[in-house]
Amino acid sequence: MPADTAPSVRSRAEALGAPWTEGAGARALRLVLDHAELIAEVTETGAAQTAARTRRQQYGNTERAADDPQFLRVLAEAAARSAVATAAADSLVRRAAEGSASVADAELIAAGLTALSREAVRALFETLGASSTLTEHGLHRFWERMHDLEAR
């Protein structure tokens, strides 16, 4: 089945039975999926925001932020975090469908992705600088989502 027509991780997770539909299993699975989604969105937003910057960055080496080796390294690290989070979520759902994943596995993955989410959001704001905190950019929603996930 081609990748663009393959069922999403989230839709595959919705088809799982017990213990993934209620209680601790459902909670841990939702956290894994939500953190992986948050990390992917932060990564995409960071890349788009960096590519959109055309002015020379203070102390930058290039005219465009998207060409700056430091930005490129940060974007590569973000892409790596996103790939790890997506693979972890996909692996958990696949193993849950096979019956080889436990709720404890899901809770452990959720804890790891919590740390990755925190790092992804922190890196986004650190990389984009003070202007990223302006309400008009709407990036505060990532902090809010991360804190909402941590409160679950």
Greater pLDDT, 130 or 146 = 146
Query: Does the pLDDT of residue 131 top 80, yes or no?
Result: no
4-60: per-residue pLDDT in tens?
A: 556 788 888 888 988 999 999 999 999 999 999 999 999 999 888 877 766 555 666
As a whole number of angstroms, the distance between CA 9 and CA 85 comes to 12
As a whole number of angstroms, the distance between CA 50 and CA 66 comes to 6
Query: Does the pLDDT of residue 2 top 60, yes or no?
Result: no
As a whole number of angstroms, the distance between CA 56 and CA 47 comes to 17
> What is the model's pTM?
0.84
Residue type, 141: R
Q: What is the pLDDT of residue 59?
A: 60
Give one DSSP letter per residue of 134-150, joined into a string: SGGG-THHHHHHHHHHH
